[in-house]
Amino acid sequence: MKQKALDFLPFIFAGLICGFILFGTFVNTPDYGDEDTIRIGIILPLTGGLAEYGSDVKVGIDIAVDEINAKGGGIGGKDVVAVYKNTWGGYPRPGGKTHEGRGGG
């Protein structure tokens, strides 16, 4: 009798783990804020010596954003918008560009 109960123990643990994963998925649904759009900041060289590469990446990102928005409301029912910052073909000032992307300047 004890052996039969021990045979089912892995299935019980697997069921509990699946239950916790599903419960966590429903409880921890991400909050995308009160705004109507989700802004994603992208730092690219759009001018200068590396502008050719930056423009290719920008085209790819624009295509991806269009595909995401075309599938029924973007992410979480909110449209995705790509916000581009230019590095002028040099190294970006990491603190300065991220500060600008947050709306600080």
pLDDT along the chain (105 residues), means of 10: 71 81 67 76 86 90 91 81 83 56 52
Q: What is the total count of domains within the chain?
A: 2
pTM confidence score: 0.57
Task: Tell me, yes or no, whether 80 and 57 share the same domain.
Answer: yes
Task: Tell me, yes or no, whether 70 and 24 share the same domain.
Answer: no
pLDDT of residue 33: 65
Task: Tell me, yes or no, whether 51 and 61 share the same domain.
Answer: yes
Task: Tell me, yes or no, whether 42 and 22 share the same domain.
Answer: no
Task: Tell me, yes or no, whether 64 and 44 share the same domain.
Answer: yes
Task: Tell me, yes or no, whether 4 and 49 share the same domain.
Answer: no
- Helix residue ranges per DSSP H, the chain: 2-7, 9-27, 51-70, 94-99
Task: Tell me, yes or no, whether 80 and 44 share the same domain.
Answer: yes
Q: What is the number of H-type helices and E-type strands within the chain?
A: 4, 2
What CATH number is associated with residue 69? 3.40.50.2300
